[in-house]
Amino acid sequence: MELCTCVARSSAPPSSSCRAVPFPRVLSHRIWSRSGYCTVCFTPSSPVARSRFSTLMTTAHNTGTPDLVDFNWDDLGFQLIPTDFMYLMSCSSDGVFMNGKLVPYGSIELNPAAAVLNYGQGLLEGLRAHRKEDGSILLFRPHENARRMEIGADRLCMPAPSVEQFLEAVKLTVLANKHWVPPFGKGSLYIRPQLIGSGAILGVAPAPQYTFIVFVCPVGHYFKGGLAPISLLTEEEYHRAAPGGTGEIKTIGNYASVVSAQRRAKEKGHSDVLYLDPVHNKFVEEVSSCNIFMVKGNIISTPLLTGTILPGITRRSVIEISQNLGFQVEERLITIDELLGADEVFCTGTAVVLSPVGSITYRGRRVEYGKNQEAGVVSQQLYAALTAIQKGLTEDSMGWTLQLT
């Protein structure tokens, strides 16, 4: 077996999964069988791996405008498309992340006793990179994602990379895959940072080691119909989160719990599920993976953040844009009956951006919004204002974007 020499030059603890010698007398780290990278220091340790990594890095850091990959961008949807690089950084129980590196995109090795696999100790984030008309690349509010991960990590007793480390990892990963950023107007590069308890543990407790991962994927619209209004089915049996739980952070378990209701809704022809509060079962909370808004006259309302609703970054952005456009914005408790009587309803999120709702079904009653299944005037106005900033089509007076190239 090929072994990494990182123990000789690093204070990082050896991996207990190494089979070179019986645990606990481990003298060196195990190498990834797939790509030739150490599972702890992520160094390309074999000559083949070093050669491949050097070639990829030379291509990725070409100072000229990168050639786009040969891809049919017009057919881009929202599904996984493997790119070239991902970013990995680890820390031990001291909580200090260090030695982050880009490596070729691929599988990672986890001990079956890893905390993330047994107890769900993990967080995820989502943000986008857009290509401007001049070919340069913009990130949208990445600082907010970094801060939200810190908050979630504290709730789950996990150390988190600093805001600076988070931003550096995101920037390096995007630039290394910049030829995967779709052409202007054809989509965006979805960025998925993850923080997981990668260390092995048997009892319920914080993991002894953690891994921070960033991978990217080119995407188009989240819903198949693009900007066509979606159909929501109100869920009354299951709830997304409970008071005192983890509904307000992006822990991985929040998303596994919505799959069953979502599948049932799609089998009935709906796009997604609308969840009500778990106490009274009448106040609107959010959709499976996005926040929800209603429009009534000149007032735009969205559910109050009470601890069970994710504080979406797109949600906050739409609130501020709406206020700047002269709308009155309310964050308050909204009953399902109020929502059904709205002039317009729309969802917001990194994945869905701003998606108009065409209908909501509640207790067998279907309520439709708008005419001829078209997006409402306010939804179109807010979508245009939001995406103009994200794509660099207008001056960013809010200071939300970060230009990379």
Where in the sequence numbering do the catalytic residues fall?
A: 250
- Exposure of 241 by Cβ count < 10 A (0-12 exposed, 13-18 middle, 19+ buried)? buried
Residue 292, Cα to own-chain centre: how many angstroms? 18
- Exposure of 3 by Cβ count < 10 A (0-12 exposed, 13-18 middle, 19+ buried)? middle
